Structure 1
């Protein structure tokens, strides 16, 4: 399904025509110059989610060569300098910054402009979906870099173009996103006009509403330590009216991009690990040791057994040592490497664990921490067709904030970028001491953010300098972001 849509989009992009004085004569009806939302939407969805989830280009794989290693889900058995030892190539920040803006945000903004009340093809559901995705992608970017161009961004084709957008602080970006997600929920109407090209929810507008409100919960919870009154009000507003503010409560409503078995719409991890025969990654001993200690059967999905056991090795080992573990450490589970495995944005498990934390923090009074905690764990197991082992909750122990965040880490396997953000926010899960044989860059500090791309230094230096100042530290991977506790 996605293949023909992307092919059509590519053909449309190549179409040009000169119409200065001979517009009526020179317009080719088979090569339209305006691209409708039904073609923009699948292109923007796939390009932005693929880049976030995996990325098949070496030195650009934010998830596989960044967050999944830093959060010690995975480790490398070769090329440890590609992420596992906290070192990254400039291509990581340069091409992802450009890709997120150009392939994702610009096209979501085009849909908003085209389908908004003053647009050429008004359709509130297209507008709402694009607004949700624009908010999600901006949230990903600000959580990676901190201050980013936000209010002045995406104006390169405006009537009054802005090619040197100012940076907004992360606090201001969050303020805008929380407001936009509320507006998106209001615009999205299951009884409204249909949309085409929705390769995430198949045109199911209710599921988009659930994602909008769940994402709003995520962001409110994330900033709660800095803006407690505002965050508390947002979370309580959402939970006070489930009919008006539906959230993700079941795995059937999870927000995922469902891959196909056809290029370029197959699972990015399959492309790298199977199609390209890359065996560089094993399971980290941090993940394996924790799950084995809990008798957590999700490891049978997350990893492949070696001699009937699930084992890993430490992160950051030099290649000469790491390569000795290639055949003795578990690999990535087939549920994540199969050709049509989905790319995950948000699940019922995450939402329930957010609510469990919110109860413990006193931010909401609906439900109990234990109820949300167990519902979140149960949803995570069921997401993979598993049943929670009979003694699991007793083994995990009493519900504490640390336990909630540790379980969120376990449930977010695969969604490494989100887990990395939660770790930077809270310091949980507590990671083990570094192996004495490991060699790390970045002064041994687990990366706290990505540096800004070189293009901003050459094309937008004055604004960039102010953005760096807004972050309150140097443009490196050790400066903490605004929501850090």
Structure 2
């Protein structure tokens, strides 16, 4: 199962002939290679769980970082664990380690084993490995900035690299976009079957759709910095739906569907139900916005308080003040605390809102309003809700500001993506800080997180070059490459 250490026992039938001594002299309990079908479920689960939240205190990148910074949630106790922009060393050390060691190392093994000439040659496994490797790299570079990329995960290569250089974000993006195009070419619905696929159950067409939809996300994200290249990529994908299929409904969403039993349950369920943690409430920012729009998604995102209302409290409040809201602030919606609630990587709603933004910006020729309304409709539908004509009329015509606000609402749960979009565009406009709030980081909403201390111990020269490449100090106030403002 996912999360459980995979132990592969290879059984060999040997004869008593001494000429087969070399074959006999292999320890069956220590295989020299593990097949992609065993690596894939572990790597997907480990990476997605860490992205969605992790159940380890002081390491919850999404739950105690981006979900608070983007004012979806707020803390009612321990405000120094993310809500006031304060984070522990483990936060930036162990997320780096987890994404590289549990995710990238294994996805790279899948690519290596499955490519032409590999031990388990299978182009569909290779394509899946490229997609997931790219997805993890996109998280790392969007969170830290410059990262080891071209020389990374080569510690066991024929010519091992133990101190990899740091690639600038534009170089990482170029590599990721190229890999996603290659993945689309490798993936074939008429190709060999795959097993161990806990994301799409072996549906290769959906993997192709994810590859191309993710490529659109990344192309749009860099569009302000590389307009010509980004426009060309988006035109290529949108101009040939057969060759470059993309999400066409919520059925295509990239989501990890959890099981009803531990340890394969949803990470927020693990923290809040099995861990009995009730440290989070809905942020006043989110509650006020959705109430003001008469937006039915508040009924899924939050639970009504004792008065039957959806109310939040401000972020960054000291514990002595925050705890006074326990009786009045809404808790997180029960949907998000179930064992089987899916962890989301990318949705049809996000894709359409991304295309709406690209159309408004003039990067594609599509109908911005049509994409905008499709995105909102898909977001409601994702939770079994029906959008009304009155809601659409109230929202009105698509604009950059409205699109990014709706994307923020639709990305609830995916705090890291919302945080990235906010740092890129400065949208949506967040309300002024509560005067009672006390923030670290000089009151600046984090723009990145620091490099791990292990890099300064083991790869100091290169990490310092990475800091320089980012154009600022190794702090949570340095803006990253794709920032438009």
Instruction: Please tell me the TM-score bracket, short chain as reference.
Output: over 0.9
Cα distance in 2 for partners of 1:464, 1:73 equals: 32
Instruction: Check if 1:318 corresponds to 2:318.
Output: yes
**Preserved CA contact (<8 Å) 1:249 1:351:** no
What is residue 443 of structure 2 aligned with on the other side? 444
Cα distance in 2 for partners of 1:346, 1:390 equals: 26
SS of residue in 1 equivalent to 2:251: helix
Give the counterpart of 1:12 among 8, 15, 23.
8
**Preserved CA contact (<8 Å) 1:12 1:33:** no
**Preserved CA contact (<8 Å) 2:9 2:28:** no
SS of residue in 2 equivalent to 1:10: coil
Provide the aligned length of Structure 1 versus Structure 2: 475
In the TM superposition, 1:470-481 aligns within 5 A as 470-481=469-480
SS of residue in 2 equivalent to 1:12: coil
The structural deviation recorded for 1:22 is: 7.3
Q: Deviations over 1:222-244 (max 9, x none)?
A: 00000100000000110000000
Please, which runs of 5 or more residues in structure 2 have no aligned partner? 12-19
Q: Deviations over 1:162-185 (max 9, x none)?
A: 000000000000000000000000
Please, which runs of 5 or more residues in structure 1 have no aligned partner? 16-20
RMSD across aligned positions (CA): 1.5
Q: Deviations over 1:81-133 (max 9, x none)?
A: 00000000010110000000000000000000000002111100000000000
The structural deviation recorded for 1:261 is: 1.2
What is residue 279 of structure 1 aligned with on the other side? 278
TM-score normalized with structure 1 length = 0.96
What is residue 333 of structure 1 aligned with on the other side? 333
Cα distance in 1 for partners of 2:343, 2:66 equals: 15
Q: Go from structure 1 to structure 2 and tell me whether the alpha carbon gap of 1:404 and 1:100 turns closer, same or farther (over 3 Å shift).
A: same
SS of residue in 1 equivalent to 2:50: helix
SS of residue in 2 equivalent to 1:463: helix
Cα distance in 1 for partners of 2:334, 2:21 equals: 57
SS of residue in 2 equivalent to 1:464: helix
**Preserved CA contact (<8 Å) 1:189 1:206:** yes
What is residue 105 of structure 1 aligned with on the other side? 104
Q: Deviations over 1:447-476 (max 9, x none)?
A: 000100000000000111111110000000
Cα distance in 1 for partners of 2:457, 2:39 equals: 30
Cα distance in 1 for partners of 2:450, 2:10 equals: 33
What is residue 414 of structure 1 aligned with on the other side? 413
What is residue 18 of structure 1 aligned with on the other side? none
SS of residue in 1 equivalent to 2:100: helix
TM-score normalized with structure 2 length = 0.96
What is residue 96 of structure 1 aligned with on the other side? 95
The structural deviation recorded for 1:28 is: 3.7
Q: Deviations over 1:316-359 (max 9, x none)?
A: 00000000111210011111110110000000000000000011
Q: Deviations over 1:3-49 (max 9, x none)?
A: 5xx54x5323999xxxxx97534424455332100000000000000
Q: Go from structure 1 to structure 2 and tell me whether the alpha carbon gap of 1:283 and 1:151 turns closer, same or farther (over 3 Å shift).
A: same
Instruction: Check if 1:361 corresponds to 2:358.
Output: no
Instruction: Check if 1:194 corresponds to 2:193.
Output: yes
Cα distance in 1 for partners of 2:314, 2:10 equals: 48
